[in-house]
């Protein structure tokens, strides 16, 4: 018999820089890593990460809480007085198309992707108390769902799996 260990499923890589809350969390490192990743992806795809797009990405990455387009616009307006909603939506669409951010449908808000890589829709855990959203990738539920849906002949164009509740820090 083999020593096969089937526990190879990858349950979100989790925080890479300590806890996501509190003084132990080095969020600056999250942002730096996200920007590096974005430059890499853009270079590979031949896409242009203009200063404006980069700034929108940085704004989305200001925290692990999803930001609405108008929050992004407010912050962008501090340096780009001429920024208008279409400016922001175009930049967000660009970032979405490269998988650098995700749209959290239930909140109509955007979240930086911490697991940039092969196209994925992710599974999101959204805390209703602090607003923190965590992305899990590579869960078996994604493959199971795809398989079942394929069997129905339905052609999905978009998939959103969002769980709302209390995060470990906010749960009593």
Footprint on this chain of Zn ion (rule: CB under 5 A):
27, 30, 113, 115, 122, 127, 129-130, 132, 167, 170
Q: How far apart are CA 24 and CA 15, in angstroms?
A: 11
Tokens of 1: 């018999």
123-127 and 161-165 beta bridge pairing: parallel
Q: Are 162 and 106 in contact (CB under 8 A)?
A: yes
Q: How near is the Cβ of 132 to Zn ion at its closest, in Å?
A: 5
Compare residues 60 and 83 and give the one whose CB is closer to Zn ion: 60
Contacts of 10 (CB under 8 A, 6+ apart): 137, 138
Contacts of 106 (CB under 8 A, 6+ apart): 126, 160, 162, 164
Compare residues 66 and 122 and give the one whose CB is closer to Zn ion: 122
Tokens of 71: 């929050």
Q: How near is the Cβ of 11 to Zn ion at its closest, in Å?
A: 14
Compare residues 55 and 63 and give the one whose CB is closer to Zn ion: 63
Compare residues 49 and 132 and give the one whose CB is closer to Zn ion: 132
Compare residues 122 and 138 and give the one whose CB is closer to Zn ion: 122
Closest CA to 64 of 117, 11, 120, 17: 17
123-127 and 101-104 beta bridge pairing: unpaired
Q: How near is the Cβ of 127 to Zn ion at its closest, in Å?
A: 3
Q: How near is the Cβ of 159 to Zn ion at its closest, in Å?
A: 13
Q: How near is the Cβ of 140 to Zn ion at its closest, in Å?
A: 17
């Amino acid at each position: 018999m083999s020593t096969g260990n089937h526990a190879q499923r990858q349950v979100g890589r989790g925080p890479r820089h300590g806890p996501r809350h509190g003084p132990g969390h080095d969020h600056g490192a999250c942002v730096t890593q996200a920007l590096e990743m974005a430059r890499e992806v853009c270079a590979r795809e031949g896409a242009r990460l203009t200063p404006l797009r980069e700034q929108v990405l940085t704004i989305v990455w200001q925290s692990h809480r999803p930001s609405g387009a108008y929050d992004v616009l407010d912050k962008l307006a501090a340096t780009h007085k001429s920024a208008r909603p279409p400016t922001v939506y175009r930049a967000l669409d660009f970032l979405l198309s490269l998988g650098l951010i995700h749209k959290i449908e239930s909140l109509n808000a955007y979240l930086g992707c911490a697991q940039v890589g092969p196209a994925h829709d992710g599974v999101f855990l959204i805390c209703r108390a602090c607003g923190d959203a965590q992305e899990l990738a590579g869960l078996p539920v994604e493959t199971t769902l795809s398989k079942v849906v394929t069997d129905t002949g339905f052609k999905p164009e978009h998939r959103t799996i969002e769980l709302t509740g209390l995060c470990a820090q906010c749960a009593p």
